[in-house]
Structure 1
Amino acid sequence: MTGNEIRTAYLEFFKSKEHLILHSFPLIPENDPSLLLIGAGMAPLKPYFTGKLVPPSYRVTTSQKCIRTDDIDNVGRTARHHTFFEMLGNFSFGNYFKKEAISWAWEFLTKVLELDQSKLSVTIYPDDDEAYDYWHNMIGLPDDHIFKMDDNFWEIGEGPCGPDSEIFYDLGPERGCGKPTCTVGCDCDRYLEIWNLVFTQFNRTKDGEYVPLEKKNIDTGMGLERIASVVQEKESNFETDLIYPIIEKVIAISGGDYSKPDQKMAMKVIADHIRAVTVMIGDGILPSNEGRGYVLRRILRRAVRYGRVLGINDLFLSSLVDTVITILGAEYPELKQYESLIKRIIDTEEKQFSATLAQGLEMLQDLMNAAGDKKVLDGQSVFKLYDTFGFPVELTQEIAEENGFEIDLDGFKEAMKEQQDRARAARTKVDAKVVVPDTTKLDQSKLVNDPAAEQAQIVMIGKDGVEVETAGDGEEVTLILDANPFHAEGGGQLGDTGSIRAAGGSAAVSDAKALPNGLVYLIATVKEGAIHSGDTVQLSVDKARNLALARNHTATHLLQAALRTVLGNHVNQAGSLVTPDHLRFDFTHFSPVTAAELEKVEQLVNDEILKNDVVTIEEMPIDAAKEKGAMALFGEKYGDIVRVVSVDGFSCELCGGSHVKSTAIIGSFRILSESGTGTGVRRIEAVTGAAALQKAKEDQAVLRQLATDLKAKNSEITTKVANLMSQLKEAEKELQQLKKEAALSDLDTILASQETIGGVSVVAAETQADSMDSLRDLADTIMDKLGNGVVLLSAAHEDKINFVCKVAKADTKKGLHAGKIIKAAAQVAGGNGGGRPDMAQAGGKEPAKAGEALQAGKQLVQELLG
């Protein structure tokens, strides 16, 4: 069976057991700030396991895209570690339990996949007599194939937990360690865990008590790549048809040899990482220096680095995307949809990293220079190289060893742990729990969203995630109404604000949010008196704010359409923010947008506003929306019924936000700025309505002031400014020439200070150079005059001092090193520095010590020459 056939067989098998097949959720978690990326099949289903939301079915099965980077350095070294993998899972939310989970797992493995029963063993929790009974008496596993292990219990602190049962496959004695004691649980590769069945049956209290759950759940996970390696009888996951075609393409590009261990590892890393990169970009994740984007960038750069190990120096990663899509495209059609975008982003990032790689190598050389005779590279600095430039520590270690250095691994690990602790602390500061109480008891069919509603009944009040009956003055709570006029936050648009008033009190609504099932809840603070569940309340939405949001949201749609018209159809939304004051739109594009292009985009949007076109909002099946040409947001997940917002003949998008009834209500549209935010992503900020008018008034005031200052008419301003700039440029040229002549006028005096140290000519002098550039030019001139030797110069500026040192190439062979000389000088003047053997520069904070600093430099020359 192919990997794709295994996936299909799994999903269809559980469909036959009355499970609802859900398509893989995006890698970006929805409403779960505790997770950076989806790393397990159950992660997107947490609200259903906790009972906060009613699931679409009480039996669900998925093949979930997952990204894990905890063990990224092991990828390629082992048979099973991956950054991207697919997790097959079947789940029960209070429906069936151990008997069915165990029975169906066995049936799938032995009947559908036809695995040899004699090679299957299981582990169970020692106290789980129920699981033992099912495995032994129902399935018929002998005792010597059932292993009781204390770590077969799944829990993550307070909350739902329970025992689990792992299923192992015996790969044969040839894969084992050969010890007589080798059995399930041994560290060798013989017994491979292929499936884990988690039986969530307890709730662990904060006091450590395990209370049986009223509704018990099933959560299972089986790695598709791993089970494919068993079915296809491959040595590792990398030899399966899910990955090996990518390795074959890498072999063709590099001319490498998969049988050589170092090349094999590099090829495995590249194949794994390009799968992760392709799928992450396909889900709307773009390279950046933080969060998910940083994870993507790190994986991509690691793949590029291992390409260099194989001798691939040209761009190559994007050429592997076709193979990835051939393997995964049928299950994940979004990859084919965004194929050209994925390739362009990879190419852009790979080009940028090629330059970064060179910088990193230069930094590593500086570290080795700084380490000197100690021959040990500082762990913190090695970590910076790893963290900033994406250098794997193994690469740093390899290059260091080639040059006779070692690295402080303990210091590196300490720095790594500090970063991990910071990241973990930052995540724990985020309140990851669902802020509303259990909503499953509510009949959602009786709860309506009605923009015209002015009166409603409070059906639920929540405080810190717990349902309460009453809230008093000053308390922040969540509210659910039976008729809700507040538009929820979503699609980059902020939620509505306003107020509610009951007979006994009132509250200010600061936000409106929606749960994944569409249920809207309000965040409100009681301002006076008290409010109670069941109260009838009068509702007031801030209409002016809502209209400002609607203006900016509709303008965002027009902006995207205009950008696609002017720049091309590769433009896709990569993020947005719609506030009452302004809009921010991030989009995929690979170069700055020119002033002329921006002017054209702005004009197109304003043309549509002036046409006063009707903005049409319709709900329809997603297939009908696609036929209509509606654009989906990059990386967004949609249901079967979608909301389509269109401006006839110009814009058509899937969107759940607030919009104006006709384009003329927007008033006018002004672009404030255009900038880059990351690889292949640009950002436009703009204003509409009153804010656009205010911007026009501010611009007019600036022009009036300029005209006054220049003693010119508005029409003459540009000409006057151009003339002034030309004059200023000429004056600056003259000034620079005068400064250079002034610095060179001291040349004879400086050359006269020449002395001989250990047979080498040395010039060490204070100068009047006004900048580091001038100081370097002066050092070059002096070295040209000397022909060989050492030049060490300083130049003071207020409370700072600069140093430059040059050593003739021939004299570096005598042991002289500009980086070491300048460091000795700079340290005396309260600074530090380093550099190459022939050229270095540094700075200090104590100009008064210039003389002492130059003397220290000369002293080191004497020491280096022995």
Structure 2
Amino acid sequence: MKYMTGNEIRKAYLEFFKSKEHLILHSFPLIPQDDPSLLLIGAGMAPLKPYFTGKLVPPSYRVTTSQKCIRTGDIDNVGRTARHHTFFEMLGNFSFGNYFKKEAIAWAWEFLTEVLELDKDKLYVTIYPNDDEAYDYWHNMIGLSDERIFKFEDNFWEIGEGPCGPDSEIFYDLGPERGCGQPTCTVGCDCDRYLEIWNLVFTQFDRTKDGEYVPLAKKNIDTGAGLERLASVIQQKESNFETDLIFPIIEDVIALCHGDYNDPHQKVAMKVIADHIRAITVMISDGILPSNEGRGYVLRRILRRAVRFGRLLGIKELFLSGLVDTVIGILGEEYPELKEHEELIKKVIDTEETQFSATLAQGTELLDQLMAAAGPAKELDGKDVFKLYDTYGFPVELTEEIASENGITIDHAGFDAAMKEQQERARAAREDVSAKVATPDTTRLDQSKLVNDPTAIEATVVMLGKEGVEVARACDGEEVTVIIDNNPFHPEGGGQLGDTGMLEGKEGKAVVTDARALPNGLVYLVATVQEGALCIGDMVDVKVDKDRNLAMARNHTATHLLQAALRKVLGNHVNQAGSLVTPDRLRFDFTHFSPVTADELAEVEDLVNEEILANVRVDIEEMPIAKAKEKGAMALFGEKYGDVVRVVSVDDFSCELCGGSHVPSTAVIGTFRILSESGTGTGVRRIEAVTGAAALQKAQHDAAELRLVADMLKAKADAIPDKLSQVLAQLKAAEKELQQLKKEAAMSDMDDMLAAKEDVNGVSVVAAEAQADSMDSLRELADTIMDKVGSGVVLLGAVHDGKVNFVCKVAKADTKKGLHAGKIIKAAAQAAGGNGGGRPDMAQAGGKAPEKLAEALKAGKAAVSELIG
């Protein structure tokens, strides 16, 4: 066995299968393309599903990849085991109806034993018991003895109905020193001795709804070999984390915290950080940004988890972005997109880490309140723990650690139930989406005879589909997918909605509600038959809603101009992070780390309108992607492109890769108006705008509103600013006078409150109802009274908006006697239908029953008596 770096192993794998006539494909982005059933790419075959199912013709019938993958199902095990990761690379070779078991087994063995030079005597395989064909190849062709071929029932790959088949795994013996020491230790043991390094899936059946296994006409091969696992074997490391793919990051962490990798607790933390920063870097480079849902939530979760483990190592300052250079140094040669987005990656990480530092402080305060209210059971409710985790991003591990330090446990069952409920909601949502209209197998169609022509007015129906199955006829009321040979409908893509319109034939007509495209560019229509029937072979009149299409074209070209203007005003760090183009308006999400000022928005709007007024021609060209990049064409963030791309240019102002519909010249846009600017997540801003008729309507609406304001102020339109300034000045003076009167009224009550001071077991207690319209006012009054009495307890309650607010102050010296403001206020609040807690010297709470205020104050005094003994 010869030593190889992780990068050398990856390159050797791809080149080996290239020599076996496989097409090398660059890793697909982590964001699944045209597959709403997946949140993230988690396996090498996931982006290739349309080719395995036979719905699309692959670019080659033999393909090999090194695919970026993200899995978070076992995130809690990351760092605690030798092999669990959030990010990993899956090496794969795939056959779509080309070669099968013989070649797959022979090439796997050849690569492992001749290229990597692994010891043949340390390799073992598993097969499905009934797979005699695989056994024959392993035994007779490769020459493995029966003692090294294991038959396991679980060596069968299937996920419900659809393509499935037996699989065969290859294991490497790491030696008895890595085993459990039991005499029964062998392949399949739970210990670390026998490591799975390769899996060959032989997709040869189609499982029906009835559970029948029907042999496939075209059998497929799907293999996977974890790069990190192979590296750990070749480099003879105890775990994936010690390989050159990860350990340089751990070394950086050790230097940061001056830590000890041999300390078990520190070791876990270091592994977690190294694993997570790899995932974070790759996810951001693929267009995923932190948010509170979906992929963005996954990113935010692992980023915050990495920060939390950094804090456990004693790292107080921002540190994660400083590890990005090392990640790029390791992975950048294979994934150049990391270097391209280096600045953005670091900025997003710094922003999120800064925000989470504040979240940690807020979460700690909320956790203090929950612990104060835990009661005699000394257990935190699982739903509350989940809310801390889900709403505030407070790691459950941190909650458990802090609670444990205070002698409190957490309700794991309740937390797990709440987590499961959320996961089921998310899964159901994805299933709802994935259950929507699906196309049947399109491989029988000759795509060279299918034309996309925006001027087409008639066409022939070449395919109809219902629920993913081809049908010959669709009748009134049925929703179907339709493919026509001469298509003028522009499909959904690049944020733009698909075209709508009508199909009218001799037997019936259908309303087209959407147009979409498959990954190979084939356009299909989603339509509902409105009258009669639609059949394969029908000649139909095709009518696109031209007004709607033109409105979207205006908004799409304006989106390009908007992005170019933002980059000129804000800087080249601006990248598209999402968009929506509808007939009514456009929405553009972009990377930027602070609100866009009013002056900046005005400048952006002016730049776009200057291009519109200049009546610049919009050029659309198709060219090789290398030439497009030389021309400076901007690509969509995280998008995967083919060799030939469509470039949309507006003079030297804007140049982008885009498949959307556009106006012939900028003047057709009419005018451009920004409606709003807001933040949507860490480092992402959103602008909504209108063009054409919608912009004119907005201007007319604004003019009408201005006239209404002028009438209300009894002023002319051009005098509104001066008149409004006068009104606001008068209002401010009146509010100031009102506040002073309220303060004087509250202070006049203070003498009565002081006079009601009581002695409770030697402690001075002021417990009284106060007049205060806010918690701030009540707190200020409590401070003033405490200054007057100098010691003891001040407990005030004030009714406001149908609720009661409480504030409790305890003199610092008296907290040493056992008095605790949080416990006193909790007793008072509970008597008034509320709850609360806080620090020993100050606490605040609320109640739902203001009529029980007097009773609540008595309960507070009773708590003082109980605490002082």
TM score, norm. by length of structure 2: 0.98
Alignment partner of 1:595 is 2:598:
yes
Is the 8 Å Cα contact of residues 822 and 837 (structure 2) preserved in structure 1? yes
The match for 1:272 among 263, 266, 275 is: 275
CA positional deviation for 1:436 = 0.8
Cα root mean square deviation, aligned: 1.2
Aligned residue for 1:47, secondary structure, equals helix
Which of 550, 557, 561 matches 1:558? 561
Residue 719 of structure 1 aligns with an amino acid whose one-letter code is D
> Where do residues 584-733 of structure 1 align in structure 2 (5 Å cutoff)?
584-733=587-736
Following TM superposition, by how much is the alpha carbon of 1:853 offset from its aligned partner in structure 2, in angstroms?
1.3
Structure 1 residue 787 displacement after superposition? 1.2
Alignment match of 1:120 (pick from 123, 140, 148): 123
Letter in 1 for 2:285: G
Counterpart code for 2:226: G
Q: Which amino acid aligns with 2:391?
A: T
What amino acid does structure 2 have at the position aligned with 1:604? L
Which of 534-543 and 390-399 deviates more? Answer: 390-399
Task: Say which of 182, 185, 190 aligns to 1:182.
Answer: 185
Matched with 2:222 is: 219
- The answer to whether the 8 Å contact 2:359/2:394 transfers is no
SS at match of 1:430: helix
User: Which AA in structure 2 matches 1:812?
Assistant: T
Identity %: 80
Shift of 1:569: 0.6
CA distance in 1, matches of 2:340, 2:576: 14
| More displaced stretch, 317-326 vs 840-849 | 840-849
Q: 8 Å contact 1:632–1:653 — kept in the other structure?
A: yes
Structure 1 residue 413: deviation in Å? 2.4
Name the structure 1 match of 2:844: 841
Counterpart code for 1:43: A
Report the CA distance between 1:286 and its aligned residue. 0.4
For 1:44, the aligned partner's letter is P
Pick from 327, 330, 335 the counterpart of residue 338 of structure 2: 335
Tell me the TM-score normalised to structure 1 length: 0.99
Contact 2:437–2:480 at 8 Å: present in 1 too? Answer: no
**In 2: Cα distance, 1:110 partner to 1:90 partner:** 17
The residue aligned with 2:468 is: 465
Q: Which amino acid aligns with 1:154?
A: W
Judge which range, 400-409 or 13-22, deviates more.
Answer: 400-409
For the 8 Å contact 1:302–1:390, the answer to whether it is kept is no
Q: What SS is found at the alignment partner of 1:576?
A: strand
Show the counterpart of 1:409: 412
Distance 2:491 2:57 in 1: 20
1:498 corresponds to: 501
Structure 2 distance, partners of 1:249, 1:731, is 60
> More deviation in 438-447 or 522-531?
522-531
Deviations 1:501-521 (A, max 9, x none): 101111111110000000000
2:86 is the alignment partner of 1:83: yes
Letter matched to residue 427 of structure 1? R
Q: What is the CA deviation profile of residues 715-749 of structure 1, one whole-angstrom value per residue up to 9, with x for unaligned ones? A: 21111111211221121111111111111100010
Secondary structure in structure 2 of the residue aligned to 1:6: helix
Structure 1 unaligned runs (5+)?
A: none
Shift of 1:392: 3.4
Aligned to 2:238, the other structure's residue is in SS state coil
1:59-98 equivalences in 2 (<5 Å) = 59-98=62-101
CA distance in 2, matches of 1:303, 1:407: 22
The residue correspondences of 1:96-175 to structure 2 (distance < 5 A) are 96-175=99-178
- From 728, 747, 751, give the equivalent of 1:744: 747
Q: Aligned pairs, how many?
A: 866
Query: In the alignment, is residue 370 of structure 1 matched against residue 378 of structure 2?
Result: no
Give CA deviations for 1:95-139 in whole Å, capped at 9, x if unaligned.
111111111100000000000001000111111111111111110
By how many angstroms is 1:803 displaced? 1.3
Quote the Cα distance in structure 2 between the aligned partners of 1:140 and 1:50. Answer: 33
Q: Residues of 2 paired with 1:446 and 1:410: CA distance?
A: 59
Provide the secondary structure at the position in 2 that maps to 1:189.
coil
Q: Which runs of 5+ in 2 are unaligned?
A: none
Q: Give the Cα–Cα distance (whole angstroms) in 1 for the partners of residues 117 and 394 of structure 2.
A: 45
Q: Distance in 2 between matches of 1:269 and 1:262?
A: 11
CA contact (8 A) 1:33 1:432 kept: no
The CA deviation at 1:264 is 1.2
Q: Shift of residue 365 of structure 1?
A: 2.0
**Whole-angstrom distance in 1 between the partners of 2:76 and 2:669:** 52
- Corresponding residue for 2:197? 194
- Residue 353 (1) aligns with residue 356 (2): yes
- Deviation, structure 1 residue 843: 1.6
State which of 214, 236, 241 in structure 2 corresponds to 1:238.
241
SS in 2 for 1:371: coil
1:571 maps to which of 566, 571, 574: 574
Q: Return structure 1 stretches of 4+ with deviation > 4 angstroms.
A: none
Deviation at 1:372, TM superposition (A): 4.4
Cross-structure match for 2:795: 792
Give the alignment partner of residue 319 of structure 2, picking from 308, 316, 319: 316
Look up the SS of the partner of 1:693 in the other structure: helix
Aligned partners of 1:365, 1:127: CA distance in 2, in Å? 59
How do residues 373-452 of structure 1 correspond to structure 2 at under 5 angstroms? Answer: 373-432=376-435, 435-452=438-455
Q: Contact 1:32–1:432 (CA<8 Å) still a contact in 2?
A: no
Query: Alpha-carbon deviation of 1:432?
Result: 4.5
How many Å apart are 1:414 and its aligned residue? 2.6
SS at match of 1:56: coil
Q: Deviations over 1:622-666 (max 9, x none)?
A: 000011111111111110000000011100000000000000000
**SS state at 2:434 partner:** coil
* CA deviation map 1:248-285 (0-9, x unaligned): 11112221111211111111111111100000000000
Partner SS, residue 726 of structure 1: helix
In 2, distance between residues paired with 1:559 and 1:520?
A: 28
Aligned-pair CA distance for 1:420: 2.4
Instruction: Find the residue that maps to 2:265 and give its secondary structure.
Output: helix
- Whole-angstrom CA distance in 2 between matches of 1:417 and 1:702: 49
Aligned ranges 1:715-864 → 2 under 5 Å: 715-864=718-867
Question: Could you tell me whether the CA contact under 8 Å between 1:506 and 1:527 is conserved in 2?
Answer: yes
* Alignment equivalent of 2:32, drawn from 29, 33, 39: 29
Secondary structure of the residue aligned to 1:195 is: strand
Question: What per-residue deviation string (whole Å, max 9, x for no partner) do you get for residues 676-701 of structure 1?
Answer: 11111110000000001111111111
Q: CA deviation at 1:812?
A: 2.1
SS of the counterpart of 1:565? helix
**For residues 192 and 332 of structure 1, what CA distance do their matches in structure 2 show?**
27
CA distance in 2, matches of 1:40, 1:597: 44
With 407-416 and 491-500 compared, the bigger mean Cα shift is at: 407-416
